[in-house]
Structure 1
Amino acid sequence: MGPKKLYKSIENKMICGVCGGIGEYLNIDPTLIRLLMVLLGCTTTGFIIYIVAAIVIPYPPEG
């Protein structure tokens, strides 16, 4: 089995699946990631980080 890869979540998504994917990758509750992103989202930097992550992180391959 190869290294663990970061993907957007398909089942556990609210907007783009970024927080759900990070939560699955780190094996923690995605709600904690969402709360952190809300706090960071209050700044311009946090908003930009989320947008870049939504563009860069891929969906998992089908199958």
Structure 2
Amino acid sequence: MMEKKQLTRSNNRMIAGVCSGIADYFGWDVTLVRILYVLATFFTAFSGGIVYLILWVIMPERRRGEG
């Protein structure tokens, strides 16, 4: 049976675990996601900061012992 994936904030975090949670969900390298996020934030007049805060609030935190 296929396991249902859920987008959660990771325990492998620098600030809130949003970027590493996204990287885990899609199977991407966390460093690449962080670099792309910083670049996107600068090129969108820092609106990425608002998006990050929103994701921090709405993404559930991964429970200890999961993944």
TM-score (norm 1): 0.83
User: Residue in 2 aligned with 1:18?
Assistant: 18
Superposed CA offset, 1:19-58 (max 9, x none)? 0100000001011110111012222321111111111111
The alignment partner of 1:59 has SS state of coil
Report the AA paired with residue 50 of structure 1: Y
1:46 pairs with 2:48: yes
Aligned length, in residue pairs: 62
For 2:41 and 2:57, locate their aligned partners in 1 and report how far apart those are by CA, in whole Å. 16
Quote the RMSD (CA, aligned, Å).
1.5
1:6 pairs with 2:25: no
TM-score (norm 2): 0.79
Report the AA paired with residue 58 of structure 1: P
For 1:17 and 1:26, locate their aligned partners in 2 and report how far apart those are by CA, in whole Å. 14
Q: Which stretch shows the higher mean deviation, 21-30 or 33-42?
A: 33-42
Q: Detail structure 1 runs of 4+ shifted over 2 Å in the superposition.
A: none
Deviation at 1:3, TM superposition (A): 2.0
Q: Give the share of equivalent positions with the same residue, in percent.
A: 40
